[in-house]
DNA sequence: GTCTATACCTTGATAGAC
DNA sequence: GTCTATCAAGGTATAGAC
C-alpha cells in the first residue's frame, strides 16, 4: 500500500465514521479534509461527488457484513455464537465511533439519495436479514433456539430492534445494549 | 383560532412533516415558507431560530403521545387494544407523510442538537417506553399477554423495533409492518 | 405579521498551476 | 495527487419598511 492509496483509504475511513455519526447531510468535504490535513479538492479528486463517496461506504459496509457472516462455518454451524457475534459487533461498532447503523443513517436522508444508493442499501438490508434468518432457522432446527413464526420475519424484527437500539443508545447511553440483548436471549430461549 | 395563530400552526405542521421526512439537517426555512406562500422572514418571526422550531415539534409530538396513551382507560384497562393502537398509530403516521419517527430523526442529527432538545427527546423516549411497559405488565398480569423478562426492557425492545421498522419500510415498503406486527403478536402470545 | 433586502457563512464542485 | 483560487447555490439569520 503506497501513499496514494493510503489517502484514499483514509478518506473512506473518515467519511465512514462521519456518516455513521452525523448522517448523509450532516457532514461535509471539509469535515473529511481537515483531520486528514489535506484540502477540499483532494477529496474531489478521489471522489468527484458526494454520492460516489457514499456508494463506496455502503460497499465497504456490505463487505464487512459478508466477512462477518462468512465466519459462520468457523463456529461449527452453531447458531448461538452467531447471535452473540451480532451483539458483540453492535457494541464494538458503537464503541469505535459508529453510533448509528448505516440503514438508519440513510433512511433519514432517503429523499436526497440517488437511486443506485437506495438500491445498494436495500440489498444490504436484505442480505443481513437473510443471514440472520438462516441462523434462526438452523438454531431452531438444532434445538438451540426457541421461537414461533417465520424465521425471515423474526430476523427482520430483530434487525430492526438493534437498529432502533443504537439510536436510543445515543440518548440513553450504551447501557441499554446489555439489557436489551438479554431480553432477546430470553425471547429466543437462550437462557436455558 | 384567528389568522395569526393559524400561520403559526401551519408552520409547525409543515415543519413536523419535513422533520419526519428529511431529518433536522434535511430541511430549510424555505422548504416551510414556500408551500405556505409566505417568506423566509415570516418563519423567523414565529421561531427566531431552527432549534426553537424543533423544540416545538418535540413538544407537540409528546402531546400526541400523551393524548394517545391517555386513552388507556377508554379501553377498560385491557392491554391488547392498546398494543393494537400502537400498531395502528405507526401505520397511520407513515401513511400521512411521517415515515420516520422523531427519535430516529433526531438520533442521526444528535451532534447538532442543543442540550435542551436532547433532554426533551430523552424524556419522550422514557415516557413512551414507560407507557408500553405498564401495558405489558398489566397484560401479563391479566393473562392477555405472555412473555418472560422485565416489562421495562421488553417495552424498550419493542419500541426500538418499531422505530427500526419505520426506517426499513422506507427501503422495503410499508408491507413490512403487517408481517412484523404479526410476529410481535406471536411473540406476545396474542394469537391465541 | 409579513414584506423586501441583505449580510454572512458553508456547501459541493471546478479550473488550472505545480 | 495535491494545491490555490474561485464559483454558484443555498443555508440561517437580521434590519427596517409597511
pLDDT in tens, A88-111: 999 999 999 999 999 999 999 999
Q: Mean of the pLDDT values across residues B159-167?
A: 98
Residue B161 contacts A where some CB pair is shorter than 8 Å: yes
pLDDT band at A175 (very low <50, low <70, confident <90, very high): very high
Chain-centre distance for alpha carbon A60? 10
Q: Evaluate if residue A4 carries a pLDDT over 60.
A: no
Residue A59 contacts B where some CB pair is shorter than 8 Å: no
Residue A154 contacts B where some CB pair is shorter than 8 Å: yes
pLDDT band at A74 (very low <50, low <70, confident <90, very high): confident
Out of B107, B111, B153, the one facing A183 most closely (by C-beta) is B153
What pLDDT shows up at residue B5? 67
Q: Evaluate if residue A1 carries a pLDDT over 90.
A: no
Q: Mean of the pLDDT values across residues A28-45?
A: 97
Given an 8 Å threshold on Cβ–Cβ distance, is A187 in contact with B184?
A: no
Q: Mean of the pLDDT values across residues B105-131?
A: 96
Q: Mean of the pLDDT values across residues B32-41?
A: 97
Q: What share of chain A is helix, strand, coil (3-state, %, to 5)?
A: 80, 0, 20
Q: Mean of the pLDDT values across residues A7-32?
A: 97
pLDDT band at A192 (very low <50, low <70, confident <90, very high): confident
What pLDDT shows up at residue A5? 66
What pLDDT shows up at residue B74? 74
C-alpha B79/C-alpha B86 separation (Å) is 11
Q: Evaluate if residue B108 carries a pLDDT over 90.
A: yes
pLDDT band at B35 (very low <50, low <70, confident <90, very high): very high
pLDDT in tens, B77-90: 899 999 999 999 99
For chain A, the average pLDDT equals 94
Q: Mean of the pLDDT values across residues A81-92?
A: 96
Contact between the CB of A40 and strand C at under 7 Å: yes
Instruction: Give me A32's grid cell.
Output: 473529511
Radius of gyration of chain A (CA): 18
pLDDT in tens, A112-132: 999 999 999 999 999 999 999
Q: Report whether A24 contacts A13 (CB < 8 A).
A: no
For chain B, the average pLDDT equals 94
What pLDDT shows up at residue B31? 98
Q: Evaluate if residue B2 carries a pLDDT over 50.
A: no
Which residues make Cβ contacts (< 8 Å) with residue A94, sequence separation at least 6? A166, A169, A174, A177
pLDDT band at A146 (very low <50, low <70, confident <90, very high): very high
Range with the poorest average pLDDT among A93-107, B56-70, B164-178: B56-70
Contact between the CB of A39 and strand D at under 7 Å: yes
Q: Mean of the pLDDT values across residues B69-98?
A: 90
Q: Report whether A108 contacts A183 (CB < 8 A).
A: no
State the nearest residue by CA to the C1' of D5: A41
pLDDT band at B192 (very low <50, low <70, confident <90, very high): confident
What pLDDT shows up at residue B73? 67
Out of B126, B147, B176, the one facing A156 most closely (by C-beta) is B176
What values do phi and psi take at A115, rounded to 5?
-55, -40
In total, the C-beta contacts within 8 angstroms joining chain A to chain B are 179
pLDDT band at B187 (very low <50, low <70, confident <90, very high): very high
Q: What angle do CA A177, A73, B165 make, to 5 degrees?
A: 35
Amino acid at each position: 500500500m503506497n501513499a496514494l492509496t493510503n489517502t484514499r483509504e483514509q478518506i473512506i475511513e473518515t467519511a465512514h465514521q462521519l456518516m455513521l455519526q452525523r448522517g448523509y447531510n450532516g457532514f461535509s468535504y471539509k469535515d473529511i479534509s481537515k483531520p486528514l490535513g489535506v484540502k477540499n479538492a483532494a477529496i474531489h479528486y478521489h471522489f468527484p461527488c458526494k454520492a460516489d463517496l457514499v456508494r463506496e461506504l455502503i460497499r465497504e459496509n456490505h463487505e464487512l457484513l459478508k466477512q462477518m457472516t462468512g465466519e459462520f462455518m468457523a463456529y461449527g454451524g452453531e447458531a448461538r455464537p452467531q447471535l452473540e457475534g451480532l451483539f458483540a459487533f453492535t457494541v464494538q461498532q458503537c464503541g469505535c465511533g459508529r453510533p448509528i447503523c448505516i440503514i438508519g443513517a440513510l433512511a433519514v436522508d432517503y429523499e436526497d439519495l440517488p437511486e443506485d444508493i437506495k438500491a445498494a442499501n436495500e440489498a444490504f438490508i436484505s442480505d443481513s436479514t437473510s443471514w440472520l434468518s438462516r441462523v434462526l432457522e438452523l438454531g431452531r432446527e438444532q434445538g438451540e433456539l426457541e421461537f414461533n413464526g417465520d424465521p425471515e420475519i423474526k430476523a427482520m424484527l430483530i434487525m430492526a430492534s438493534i437498529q432502533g437500539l443504537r439510536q436510543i443508545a445515543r440518548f440513553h447511553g450504551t447501557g441499554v445494549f446489555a439489557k436489551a440483548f438479554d431480553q432477546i436471549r430470553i425471547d429466543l430461549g437462550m437462557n436455558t
